[in-house]
Chain A
Amino acid sequence: MIETARGSRVLIIDDEESILDGCRQALEKSGYSITTSSDGLAGVNLAREIKPEVLFVDLKMPNCSGMDIIENISREMPDIVLIVITGYASIVSAVEAMKKGAYDYLPKPFTPDQLRAVTKRGIEHRRLKVEAEFLREEKARMERNFITFVSHEMRSPLVTIQQYIESLKLISEGELKPEANEIIQRCEKRIQNLHDLIEHWLDISRIENGTFSEARVPLNLTEVIERSLEEMCPLCQKRGIRLESDLKKGLPMIYGDQESLLRVFSNIIGNATKYTPPGGRILVCTDCDDYYISVSVSDTGQGIPQDKLPFIFEPFYRVRGKQERQRGSGLGLTFSKKIMEAHNGRIEAFSKEGEGATFVMKFPRAYDM
């Protein structure tokens, strides 16, 4: 980083010409590129123009307040390292200047060596600041890429296993015992579950680091819900569960992301199918009042014990005991909650053990449509 020290731009604003001359001589010897101004306002304009690494400002000038310059420059160009020159070696004013953004101070009178030492320290400070900023950006970039990288690395082996199963099924057509085919089917199901888990984890990571792409457009919630009902209908039929809906007509539009909301609704309905016995019913309703549009999904399943309700949106939390079969990724409700929050909405669960459960999703009404 030698080149930043040599040739670093230093601007000095002081009303005393003799001080400016002295500084110029002392610093030019060390290879800095020096600009000076004996007028406060002209000095500020010069700073905008040449963007110095270090700026010295005399606190006491006849027609301009050095303190104001400090305040303005540190707000407008925070990258510039500000150092105040205090004529009346007043610690109080130096402290005030540093509160307003100055990095250091230099009391008059000073020797050329003192000036060079303060300048060098200021430039070093600036270099560290720039480096820290660069590292921060680099870290953020790596975090963004990390998600994509990990998802690729996790999905690849699964995809390959699935492809092997596909080829196994094809080349062994009609030659395997039914039990062997059953084993293959079970493998496929478990791999699919793992796939879903990765997808959910990925979505949640993306929401958390702000790279989840959401298209906020005016949406007709009824249409999204109808799509979800259509999507979930075959599963309910298969499990012998009635899927019914009572959707209010003329629901106001909301701003939202169609695909992620579709997944939220399908998630909640899918969840209900897991805990509702054959012959049961899942009912999806919509309603609205002056402030909220709400979507509720109620089932006639076993319900959720009161003491477990507060935890169901936590990642990997499972209501059922260990001995029972666990299905799903364990992240579906967490995902749904995050998506609802991203829509400035919320999701709540109500239940009594043995009397089914109701999930209510509330969206704030948008009045500017």
Chain B
Amino acid sequence: MDAKKKILLIDDDKDFLMATKLILEKGGYEVFLAEDGKSGVEMAKSVNPNLAIVDMMMETWSEGFNVVSKLRTSDSGKQIPLIMLSAVDLQGPYQSFEPPEGLPTVDMVLHKPIKADDLLRHVGSLLGE
């Protein structure tokens, strides 16, 4: 049997992490949590996740962008699908799926809260399942 696929979840809201973890675990994934950008980037190196989900607004309002660009330039994060999470209703630069030049690209932008089946469906399709 295949090993469970690993998902790294980076968000500064502990409860949001817990709620989302429960959903992803129910979907059959192994979930790793990081409560800030820095430890998230570190954890990506040691865990080598198959997919990462990053919140846009953490310690600073643009922390998510920093994290994504760091992941995109690291060996562990170069190739994996990245999902950006946003609680702001479409006001940031990721308003469209094509971020302006200079911002790191993500594979998908999802808005909080996310319906459980939507989350599992999107994650599944990004992982080619």
Contact = CB atoms under 8 A, between A and B. Distances in A.
B122 interface: no
B26 A166 contact: no
Nearest to A163: B19
A166 B87 contact: no
Nearest to A202: B89
Interface stretch (B66-74, B98-106, B108-116): B108-116
A160 B18 CA distance: 9
B93 to A, nearest CB: 14
Contacts of B89: 199
A159 B87 contact: yes
Contacts of B57: 152
A163 B20 contact: yes
Contact of B23 (A151, A152, A166): A166
Contacts of A155: 87
B26 A163 contact: no
Contact of A159 (B16, B22, B26): B16
Contacts of A164: 15, 18-19
B87 A171 contact: no
A162 interface: yes
Contacts of B115: 166
B113 A163 contact: yes
A159 B18 CA distance: 13
Interface residues of B, number: 19
Contacts, number: 52
Interface string B21-36: 0110010000000000
A159 to B, nearest CB: 4
B116 A152 contact: no
B113 A167 contact: no
B92 to A, nearest CB: 10
Interface in A134-149: 148
B61 to A, nearest CB: 8
A196 to B, nearest CB: 12
B47 interface: no
A156 B89 CA distance: 12
A152 B20 contact: no
Interface in B3-59: 13, 15-16, 18-20, 22-23, 26, 57
A152 B112 contact: no
A166 B87 CA distance: 16
A156 B19 CA distance: 13
A318 interface: no
Given A152-B87, A166-B114, A167-B116, A160 B19 contact: yes
A159 B112 contact: yes
Contact of B26 (A152, A170, A199): A170
A203 to B, nearest CB: 11
A168 B18 CA distance: 11
Give the 9 A-B CB pairs with smallest separation, nearest first.
Answer: A162-B113, A167-B22, A163-B19, A170-B116, A159-B112, A164-B19, A166-B116, A160-B15, A163-B113
8 contacts: A148-B88, A159-B87, A159-B113, A166-B23, A166-B115, A166-B116, A167-B19, A171-B22
